[in-house]
Amino acid sequence: MYTEIITTILVVIAYAVAIAGIIVPVLPGTILIVASTFVWALVVGGNTGWITFGLVTVFSAIGITASYVLTGKRLKDAQVPNSSILWGGAGAAIGFFAIPVLGIFIGFTVGLFLAEMRRQKDGMSAAASTWLALKSLGIGILIELAMAFTSAITFAISCLIYFFGS
């Protein structure tokens, strides 16, 4: 029972780190959720562990797929090219090291805006497409976050069943 308790505590910590990784896209949050739940299922075994792993995997797949599909569709409809998003990513990387905590968001926004400004040659159009891209990416993050919380609730219920069930 000692191993199961320690593993559960470590998985809860991994879930917290993963959710933070979804909010601040530095870590692959959803992958960490699936991997940590897999480890928990290996340790606790039985129906509870493997059903939990299956449900968490399904929720995670829904979150990642919906996030990418909806975000990609909105960006494509707005004609924001992938190169602008990549420049935003480069700006986020620079911002991450230049300004602790908030730098990743500021850097991404500045990088995206500058790429759109270079592409469109108009500040108002660049600002509009930057805002639309930020909203699209935000919606994707919210969808993935919702599925991460659904996974966390599923894991919590499974822990209650495993440790306090008959």
Number of domains in the chain: 1
Whole-number pLDDT of residue 10: 97
Tell me the two tokens of residue 2: 């000692």
Q: Which of 1-5, 7-11, 32-36, 38-42 shows the lowest per-residue confidence on average (mean pLDDT)?
A: 1-5
Mean pLDDT value of segment 29-51: 96
Q: Contact, 120 vs 102, CB < 8 A?
A: no
Question: Distance between alpha carbon 6 and the CA centroid of its chain, in Å?
Answer: 25
pTM, two decimals, is 0.81
Instruction: Report pLDDT digits (tens) over 105-129.
Output: 899 999 999 999 999 888 898 999 9
- Residue 68: the pLDDT is 87
In this predicted structure, what is the pLDDT of residue 166? 62
